[in-house]
Structure 1
């Protein structure tokens, strides 16, 4: 069959063999990639759709149970799909790396290497291994006209793989022989395949990278950063898709009117760095695009939502207010409160609201952030800070912390290395893991100060960082990759983070598939580190906002399944915060999060 295409039509006409869809969690990468794959198959192309996302919901979107081998998608002739399980791939990769050392090193050293290889860098390279194997498979290359990837390799992975000429020399001259993705000797065996893969990604006749974002300034800023990093690597064949644009006909719903205006503003102020690329928009749908027919409707001509049947928002799980949660936290006189979660879910706003309320209750509070994109001043405003004199703002600058840390490591480990070997070491030090460890050193100093007041942290270290630094206590000194010395405050802070009387973790998410599943994985990581979250905070929920716009009401009803899933996952408290059209700022604005009824009456 052939669809009449209204959205992404030019991409479908000019689609190269390989298409990568990337963007922050929750922007709609999977649904967009799936819709394109279905549309290409409907044009009589043979298509393979692959997900490399650890929190993949490709099965749910396509309506078929997938595995690690391609499976035909019912109802779409010519389309097959499968999931590359990054966690399983990473497990297999770790075993390949570690197995030569079993029996040669102590069990504690083996455990340390395994934990060091449990982070995001290892997952990236393991998934990339699978991708390379797919590119190298001559049978697959001859079988499919298009291979569509949901979640492309990150810039860090590609930078690392762009240094193959230096690896062999680095392996011979570096006594450690280890990078953020494991012993480099393991990578050396894949040099030829990696070179071919990177070359393919850079070839505009073979590959296009589709950057997906929401019609929001923060999402577009993140897209701009990603685009620039790819261009710097020679990957310039890019396209921009802004997903979830609301264009309400009836503006009597204040929230719908505000979101419509917000979307128009975002589209009219796309950063100049992105303006050179083809840009497409996809409307906000009343229902999540689940199933083949819904995916076809994403790109089909005509009204995207058709006639919306009236829906009733289901029952909401039992929750508590943010004010009640903070009152419980305030029963102590001091301690650490960490707001954790993926980017774009509203951690800065939630952390600021908690800090302002603690100060209003008479407690001295330090509010700090490790997020380079977070702007505490803009959230609190001058009014918010002056009105609550007990509140002090600070910032752990990731760039400064990393610069200091890298300088220390290069001073200790870089002397005597050749230029090419030093280039690999520097790239290793550019990995996300390095920044995590560097920021954690500064974070540990901040935590150490929370003995007589509250410290509220926006964007705390990840569960992987906690485990990595915990295992560093027992690192064999000949194995430690970067900095074998664990500062005293770091050694102490791990025990403090595990102490529920001292530390409280709140997981912030939104009621959508990817953010919820990523928060669930973060909870698993934290529990591995011996930390139990105190509460889940679901931000920007339509289910508890008073909306009348048919599209928003339908989406509110769709949230219920995820709220129930969160309720079953959450061992602590559950807080729901209603969606508002603009970020709440100042102490008066943030107070609306503590009083949901006021927020409903004043959606801004």
Structure 2
């Protein structure tokens, strides 16, 4: 563990002559976009050409640079050799890539009826954005147009599945080839009936060629990603418990993928030793927040309950602190934050407690805004009320791949399976849906278990299955959802609509091949010994169709379902909240409460004590990071909280100078 200490900056990364792929990732809300954008700016000052790619569904690099980027690379204004793109899940982008790939593999004519179904899947299947990002990544690898490519990634859970795709293909391709060899003749017959064969070549032969091409491509990707001279991952975090915990998990997973990681950026450090007066720092950050708080009031105060919550000196973990926060969102000790409210709606979530017919309450927003804290506090208030009124227990479910309920309640919440009783509360239960565990309970075959571990979006899909079961059983008086960041949550809520459209496509295909399936059916049996495989499958689809219809109906019922938007008073969060509210309106899902967290009160009388307390809390986690990641093996770069927003090229250059040790 000894040896020479590495410098506390990213200068060696920027100076590297061999690096081609740089991933930047971590928990939501830690400053990934600022870090990746600034790093790309630094690299562009050293390299011939640099490309910055956003694979986060909630694209933020356009906001960071103050110019609009699209699915195609475009030059960053003011830098001739830096380009940027936002990988978008769209019919004219991802679908074009798929059509070209499928059309080529099927002799240039994949069949016009195939693409509408694919289009719906691409648009709405949860997590498919990482799958498409991976496809685009492969295309970029082949072209090699840029000296270095920097990725601004989605939050940890989804990014790990993106980087886990080589592992998935390594396990899946040999087994698919085995199935293709064993059942190729029957597949060719099915292809002929369905009109999928091209010319004289059966579909199983075409699939064989596709698998071989895919295998070669995946090997090239794996070789590059596992070469530390060519690929590295920069972990970004903030000095708080959940972020440090998630960083540790991220480093371990990256090591299992054999992906190099030796740079850690700690953002938003309150450093009162650098000569910046505490009063001045407090005033500057408070001024920024006030601008966006006014904007939130202008947008929503007329129609929403806007709940304003101050930043606390302590972490919100454990029963006592959750109960303290719960009282605050229920209206206790309300502060004006220097604004005179004209809203006729109280600034609290009491309206949700009083509406006892409510069954489904979703809490969502941008990463790092306090969704878990808000959902836990709301669930505790609901549980207390329901107990007093002799109603059923309350369940809180995490559908975020980076599960935080265990950390918030300071107790182990079992993944999947039966809900866990939350200690210290009479009728509150919690559940963290673990995609791999849940998938294995419904996917008996070993190959499907392996694939389910890395399939993008399997967490939301399995979550939806769990929701459907709860709708049928109705064991709880209310269910609160601690959701994934905005982009993935919207796709989860879109699932009933997706399922309805995909079933229409499957129904049309079924009508075409049903006669052949009926003739083959008696000779087929699945691994459980069921002789009537296709009848059983049809029954399962019909049952799921009915459940999905029930869920869709309840989600549109404002008496039974609502969505609480959680935000902080910063540009990206306000922008994402506006998008979220608009999407919820389109989906006909009720939304009438907005919680604005982490506010600095300009009327605070002891600003220095508050900042000192936050700084002391942070230092505990900075020390923990330094203990976990020794300086002989990791570059630990500590970045102080700034008195201004980091937006625009000039401020990104200034931030970059801090990352590379130039200031």
For Structure 1 versus Structure 2, the TM-score category normalised by the shorter chain is 0.5 to 0.7
- Aligned with 1:408 (options 427, 442, 460): 442
Consecutive unaligned residues in structure 2, runs of 5 or more: 1-6, 104-108, 192-206, 308-328, 331-345, 412-420, 511-536, 615-640, 648-663
- Aligned with 2:405 (options 375, 392, 400): 375
- Aligned with 1:148 (options 147, 150, 161): 150
For 2:559, the equivalent position in structure 1 comes to 501
Structure 1 residues 454-511: Cα deviation after superposition (integer angstroms, max 9, x where no partner): 3333338933234334543536377899974644655422211211111111122333
The Cα of 1:131 is off from its aligned counterpart by: 1.9
The Cα of 1:537 is off from its aligned counterpart by: 2.1
Please give the alpha-carbon distance, in whole angstroms, between the structure 2 residues aligned to 1:426 and 1:312: 46
The aligned runs of 1:449-488 (5 Å cut-off) are: 453-459=477-483, 462-472=489-499, 474=503, 476=506, 484=541, 486-487=543-544
Please give the alpha-carbon distance, in whole angstroms, between the structure 2 residues aligned to 1:513 and 1:555: 15
Please give the alpha-carbon distance, in whole angstroms, between the structure 2 residues aligned to 1:227 and 1:239: 10
Please give the alpha-carbon distance, in whole angstroms, between the structure 1 residues aligned to 2:397 and 2:39: 38
Q: Greater RCO between the two (CA within 8 Å, min separation 6)?
A: 2
Q: Secondary structure at the match of 2:457?
A: helix
For 1:393, the equivalent position in structure 2 comes to 428
Please give the alpha-carbon distance, in whole angstroms, between the structure 2 residues aligned to 1:385 and 1:406: 26
The aligned runs of 1:92-103 (5 Å cut-off) are: 92-93=96-97
Please give the alpha-carbon distance, in whole angstroms, between the structure 2 residues aligned to 1:495 and 1:521: 23
Please give the alpha-carbon distance, in whole angstroms, between the structure 2 residues aligned to 1:394 and 1:113: 39
Please give the alpha-carbon distance, in whole angstroms, between the structure 2 residues aligned to 1:311 and 1:464: 32
CA contact (8 A) 1:23 1:211 kept: yes
The Cα of 1:346 is off from its aligned counterpart by: 1.8
Give the number of the structure whose alpha-carbon radius of gyration is greater. 2
Please give the alpha-carbon distance, in whole angstroms, between the structure 2 residues aligned to 1:404 and 1:373: 14
Please give the alpha-carbon distance, in whole angstroms, between the structure 2 residues aligned to 1:333 and 1:166: 51
The aligned runs of 1:493-532 (5 Å cut-off) are: 493-516=551-574, 519=577, 522-523=580-581, 526-527=584-585, 529-532=587-590
Larger displacement relative to structure 2 (16-25 or 168-177): 168-177
The aligned runs of 1:95-134 (5 Å cut-off) are: 110-111=116-117, 114-115=120-121, 118-134=124-140
CA contact (8 A) 2:49 2:147 kept: yes
CA contact (8 A) 1:230 1:236 kept: yes
Q: Does 1:533 align with 2:625?
A: no
Q: Secondary structure at the match of 2:139?
A: helix
| RMSD (Å), alpha carbons | 4.7
Q: Does 1:351 align with 2:375?
A: yes
TM-score by length of 2: 0.60
TM-score by length of 1: 0.65
Please give the alpha-carbon distance, in whole angstroms, between the structure 1 residues aligned to 2:56 and 2:407: 34
Change (3 A) 1:536 1:191: farther
Q: Does 1:439 align with 2:473?
A: no
The Cα of 1:197 is off from its aligned counterpart by: 2.0
For 2:657, the equivalent position in structure 1 comes to none
The Cα of 1:221 is off from its aligned counterpart by: 1.8
Please give the alpha-carbon distance, in whole angstroms, between the structure 1 residues aligned to 2:231 and 2:439: 37
Q: Secondary structure at the match of 2:271?
A: coil
CA contact (8 A) 1:509 1:516 kept: yes
Q: Does 1:327 align with 2:327?
A: no
Please give the alpha-carbon distance, in whole angstroms, between the structure 1 residues aligned to 2:642 and 2:603: 11
CA contact (8 A) 1:112 1:471 kept: no
Please give the alpha-carbon distance, in whole angstroms, between the structure 2 residues aligned to 1:509 and 1:441: 28
Please give the alpha-carbon distance, in whole angstroms, between the structure 1 residues aligned to 2:14 and 2:370: 34
Please give the alpha-carbon distance, in whole angstroms, between the structure 2 residues aligned to 1:559 and 1:204: 30
For 1:157, the equivalent position in structure 2 comes to 165
Larger displacement relative to structure 2 (69-78 or 324-333): 69-78
The Cα of 1:218 is off from its aligned counterpart by: 0.9
Q: Secondary structure at the match of 1:330?
A: helix
Structure 1 residues 124-177: Cα deviation after superposition (integer angstroms, max 9, x where no partner): 122222222222115x1xxx4323222285234343344444444455668699
Please give the alpha-carbon distance, in whole angstroms, between the structure 2 residues aligned to 1:229 and 1:357: 36
Change (3 A) 1:377 1:14: closer
CA contact (8 A) 1:167 1:188 kept: no
